[in-house]
């Protein structure tokens, strides 16, 4: 790294010296052009208040016939401008050639860059090492949050309609389940048990289910007349749009288990 920075600094100094030399050459050429076109610089006599005489150098000719006509002045001005334009073009070409030479000198092949970055990575240096130092801890932090604390989910079906609609986004927290069991009325996300795949005649696809807990361990649940009864009491479910289109005889929920249903009762069992 130090050798590369030193080489870059030397290259900048060399480029700066080349441009200064070009400017010096341009100044000399401009002075030469002025002397060739204008000839000797005329000196105009002036008078001071005390009577002593002095001279004034001038590049423009005195009007009224003291140095030529206006036509000759225009020709000389045009020649000066042409000479300056030519000198400026030469300077631009020289600067462009110097930049191209520096670019070719600093060009590095992809294979050499990979070898250099790999060597610097093994020493804990370089752009790749800096990226990994920032990316890996950040990625590990958010991965730990997703695994242990909260997980984003989206709704793929209408099983929880109208509470949750298709493509709704939600965050599922994972902390409360370590402190207490689910409660009635809570919405839970879970992996289906084996009986679900057997009764639904579907193959396991790794998809989780989202339902509402309607009964817990020790409760007796029943669906009669399209209405839900828990321990013989009719449940007031304001979040349900339609009644269930099925009947469920009284069923005792085993201890340590919960009974769940979707809010869209006609499409759930």
Q: Which helix (H) or strand (E) element contains residue 234?
A: strand 233-234
Cα(93)–Cα(35) distance, rounded to whole angstroms? Answer: 26
* Structure token digits, residue 164: 């949750």
Cα(229)–Cα(166) distance, rounded to whole angstroms? Answer: 28
Please confirm whether the linkage preceding 162 is cis (ω < 30° from 0). yes
Rounded to the nearest 10 degrees, the angle between the axes of helix 126-148 and helix 110-122 is 60
Sheet bearing 187-190, strands edge to edge: 187-190, 209-216, 258-261
- Which of the 8 DSSP states describes residue 64? T
* Structure token digits, residue 220: 């007796």
Catalytic residue list contains 238 = no
Catalytic entry in 73, 159, 176, 200? 159
Could you give the C-alpha distances from 90 to 28, 85, 97, 138, in angstroms and in order? 13, 9, 11, 54
Helix/strand/coil for 24: helix
Contact by Cβ (8 Å): 213, 188:
yes
Phi, psi for residue 251 in degrees, rounded to 5: -135, 125
* Structure token digits, residue 43: 């000196």
Active site residues: 159
């Amino acid at each position: 790294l130090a050798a590369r920075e030193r080489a870059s600094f030397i290259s900048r100094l060399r480029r700066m010296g080349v441009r200064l030399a070009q400017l010096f050459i341009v100044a000399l050429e401009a002075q030469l052009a002025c002397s060739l076109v204008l000839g000797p610089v005329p000196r105009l006599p002036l008078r001071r208040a005390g009577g002593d005489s002095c001279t004034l150098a001038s590049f423009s000719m005195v009007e009224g016939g003291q140095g030529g006509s206006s036509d000759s002045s225009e020709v000389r001005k045009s020649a000066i401008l042409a000479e300056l334009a030519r000198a400026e073009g030469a300077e631009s070409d020289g600067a462009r050639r110097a930049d191209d030479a520096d670019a070719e000198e600093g060009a590095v092949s992809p294979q050499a860059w990979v070898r250099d970055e790999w060597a610097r990575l093994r020493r804990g240096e370089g752009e790749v090492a800096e990226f990994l130092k920032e990316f890996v801890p950040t990625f590990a932090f958010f991965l730990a949050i997703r695994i242990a604390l909260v997980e984003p989910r989206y709704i793929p079906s209408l099983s929880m309609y109208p509470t949750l609609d298709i493509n709704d986004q939600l965050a599922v927290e994972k902390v409360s389940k370590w402190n207490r069991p689910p409660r009635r009325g809570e919405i839970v996300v879970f992996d289906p048990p084996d009986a679900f795949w057997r009764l639904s005649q579907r193959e396991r696809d790794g998809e989780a289910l989202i339902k509402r807990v309607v009964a817990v361990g020790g409760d007796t649940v029943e669906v009669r007349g399209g209405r839900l009864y828990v321990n013989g009491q009719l449940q007031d479910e304001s979040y349900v749009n339609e009644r269930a289109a099925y009947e469920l005889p009284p069923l005792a929920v085993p201890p340590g288990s919960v009974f769940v249903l979707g809010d869209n009762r006609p499409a759930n069992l």
